[in-house]
Amino acid sequence: MWAARATVVLLVGVTGTTGTAVPAAAHRAPPANGFAQQGPWNTKLPAHVPLAANSAAVVENIRLDKVNNYGTWAVNTDEYSTPVYTVGRNTPAQRWTFSDCLGKPELAPVIASSLAAVPTPPGMLVSKGSDAAVTIYQPSTDTYWDFWRAEQDAAGHWSACWGGKIEHYSRNPGIFRNPLGATATGLPMGAFTIRIDELRRGRIDHAVNIATVRTRAGCHSWPATRDDGNTEGADIACEGQRFRLDPAFDISTVRSPAARTIARAMQEYGAILTDKAGALVTYAEDPRPTMLATGGPDPYLALMDPDDVVPDGAEKYYILGDIPVERLQALPYDYGQHWMCG
């Protein structure tokens, strides 16, 4: 429903303060997103974390983005999110084409290896809206792809304007090598996108994302590798910056069970700013592949609002309304970067 435009920008990182991580539990089950247990997505936040000195001002600007842009905190599913495909060893591989919608032909060799042999399931869908994003994971080769502005022509050939491939996916912390990746931050959609099955079981064991209207120009925070920030100002959130929902917030006051699950993940793992958007949004996987496979209705209609606490048909766009944006807390730039070092 709300746009999240990606732009390829090559920039260096921003340094800052980090906190202390909680060690991973022994014999922990593999993360649901498939990425490495250690890293920005799958490491729980400690009980006490440092906050950015201007946390309240940064969060207030995000709240204003919500107020001034549709007045809601939406969950993007079939529009401006991504379908997530887990494909088998025998899925036909296709050589995709670089479409160069940005007019940057010098990037063709950078993405060439990512496009060379993409396992492409028949009937594959991309997200609705101008992003036309798709996420593909092949467990047999432990390889992951995501693409932006992916398109199939009349002859069945696929192309993409940008994206990338991650080999050894299960050992990767969930960061593309700069400048690859479908998001403007180089953060893989498969790392943070909420899965239907996670909402069904009522548990998300990884950080989720937020995208908002104004992001700070020329600023990105680890784990982002780049940014497409659009607004000057020290109190505008940087892409890649981590937020946490105040752990003192009582999530039992959130009426939607799915929203309570998302709120709990934001308290335990946090939410990372992954891109710009046309409103304040969080991503969940596109339900259409599931609907096609099962022949059933959109699963979110029952998962997100079984008690009819929001208007019929608006479940996906309003369920986070009970989570007060002002209870978010901004962490310092590059928080958790030391997780990569042990």
Tell me the pLDDT tens digit for each residue of 121-134: 999 999 999 999 99
Instruction: Judge whether 49 and 19 are in contact, CB under 8 Å.
Output: yes
**pLDDT of amino acid 24:** 38
**pLDDT of amino acid 306:** 65
DSSP at 284: B
Query: Mean of the pLDDT values across residues 45-64?
Result: 97
Query: Mean of the pLDDT values across residues 100-116?
Result: 97
pLDDT of 315 above 80: no
pLDDT-derived band at 12 (thresholds 50, 70, 90) equals very low
Neighbours of 20 (CB within 10 A): 12
Among the listed ranges 35-39, 108-112, 231-235, 337-341, which one has the minimum average pLDDT value?
337-341
Residue 165 β-bridge partners: 145
pLDDT of 143 above 90: yes
In sequence order, the 6+-apart residues with CB closer than 8 A to the CB of 104 are 8
Mean pLDDT of the chain: 89
Burial 176-208 (b: 16+ CB within 10 A, else e): bebbbbbbbbbbbbbbbbbbbebbeeeebbbbb
DSSP at 308: -
34 vs 52: which has the higher pLDDT:
52
CA distance 321 to 111: 39
Tokens of 83: 């379908």
167 vs 338: which has the higher pLDDT:
167
**pLDDT of amino acid 8:** 36
Question: What is the chain's length?
Answer: 342
Residue 79 β-bridge partners: 128
pLDDT-derived band at 18 (thresholds 50, 70, 90) equals very low
Q: What is the DSSP string of 33-97?
A: T-S-SSSTTTSPPPSS----TTHHHHHHHHHHHHHHTTTSEEEESSBSS--EEE--TTSPEE--E
Among the listed ranges 30-39, 214-223, 306-315, which one has the minimum average pLDDT value?
306-315
pLDDT of 141 above 60: yes
**pTM of the predicted structure, to 2 decimals:** 0.90
pLDDT of 6 above 50: no
340 vs 282: which has the higher pLDDT:
282
pLDDT of 303 above 50: yes
- Give CA separation, 180 vs 105, 110, 113, 167, 188, in Å: 15, 8, 11, 13, 9
**pLDDT of amino acid 28:** 52
Tokens of 219: 């600023």
pLDDT-derived band at 20 (thresholds 50, 70, 90) equals very low
Burial 56-73 (b: 16+ CB within 10 A, else e): eebbebbbebbeebbebb
In sequence order, the 6+-apart residues with CB closer than 8 A to the CB of 322 are 253, 254, 255, 256, 259
**pLDDT of amino acid 309:** 63
